[in-house]
């Protein structure tokens, strides 16, 4: 059961940021396992149980990231990440073209939401075509989104805005990819079990968006 992160979690994350080398990591590997990896796995397990129980038709799977960077893509950076994230996503051969719920912890704080980072240009074109041909369903979602203050629309936009069917949809129409995210400083919730309830409520709110974007992806056979 997840009981919260602690000061040792933050200390390790700052430590690996400024001491990103194998000797330091090996000397503090116990801190990584106890204060970062294990609680993240416990948090992910509770979130998975909630989402899989409430939305079994989404076929979500839990994935917890590795702290080790891909050695082929270091580009002058150290071998370790200074953050750890988990995601709930539909695991299959084309998972990267599907949205996912996420949570990340880093030295400055934490982030959570729903990301559609790796949608292909073809899928995003399908999204814009859907908005043009039948805008009403997504306009309903946008009105709900605009009425809240927890999440913001994030992600790269086209430098030259695309012509949207309505002003309401314009911010969404010009996105290269879409993230509905919240970046937060450390607070009491993340140091207790309260963060589980907070994330479950957040994912409930984001699930209609997940369904909409998932429906744009190529059909696959459920596992």
* Contact predicate 214/99, CB 8 Å: yes
- Extents of the domains making up the chain: 7-214
Of 101, 67, 103, 106, nearest to 85 by C-alpha is: 103
CA distance 197 to 185: 18
Phi and psi at 104, nearest 5°, equal -135, 140
CA distance 175 to 117: 11
Return the pLDDT at 171. 93
Return the pLDDT at 43. 98
Phi and psi at 111, nearest 5°, equal -140, 150
Angle at the Cα of 102 (from 100 to 106), degrees rounded to 5? 150
Can you identify the CATH homologous superfamily of domain 7-214?
Protein of unknown function DUF1054 (3.30.930.20)
Q: What is the pLDDT along the chain (223 residues), one digit of tens a residue?
A: 999 999 999 999 999 999 999 999 999 999 999 999 999 999 999 999 999 999 999 999 999 999 998 766 666 678 999 999 999 998 765 445 789 999 999 999 999 999 998 888 899 999 999 999 999 999 999 999 999 999 999 999 988 888 888 999 999 999 999 999 999 999 999 999 999 999 999 999 999 999 999 999 876 544 4
pTM greater than the 0.75 cutoff: yes
């Amino acid at each position: 059961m997840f009981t919260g992160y602690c000061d040792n979690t933050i200390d390790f994350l700052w430590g690996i940021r400024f001491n990103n080398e194998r000797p330091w990591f090996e000397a503090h590997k116990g801190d990584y396992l106890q204060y970062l990896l294990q609680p993240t796995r416990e948090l992910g397990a509770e979130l998975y149980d909630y989402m899989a129980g409430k939305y079994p038709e989404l076929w979500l799977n839990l994935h917890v990231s590795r702290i080790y960077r891909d050695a082929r893509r270091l580009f002058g950076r150290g071998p370790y990440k200074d953050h750890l994230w988990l995601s709930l996503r539909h695991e299959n051969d084309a998972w990267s073209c599907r949205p996912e719920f996420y949570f990340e912890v880093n030295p400055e704080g934490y982030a959570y939401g729903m990301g559609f980072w790796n949608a292909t240009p073809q899928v995003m074109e399908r999204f814009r075509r859907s908005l043009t041909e039948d805008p009403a369903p997504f306009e309903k979602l946008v009105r709900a989104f605009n009425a809240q203050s927890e999440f913001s629309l994030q992600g790269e936009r086209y430098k030259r805005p695309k012509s949207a069917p309505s002003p309401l949809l314009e911010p969404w129409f010009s996105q290269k990819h879409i993230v509905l995210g919240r970046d937060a400083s450390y607070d009491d919730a993340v140091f207790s079990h309260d963060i589980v309830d907070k994330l479950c409520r957040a994912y409930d709110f984001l699930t209609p968006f997940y369904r909409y974007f998932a429906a744009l992806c190529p059909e696959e056979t459920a596992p």
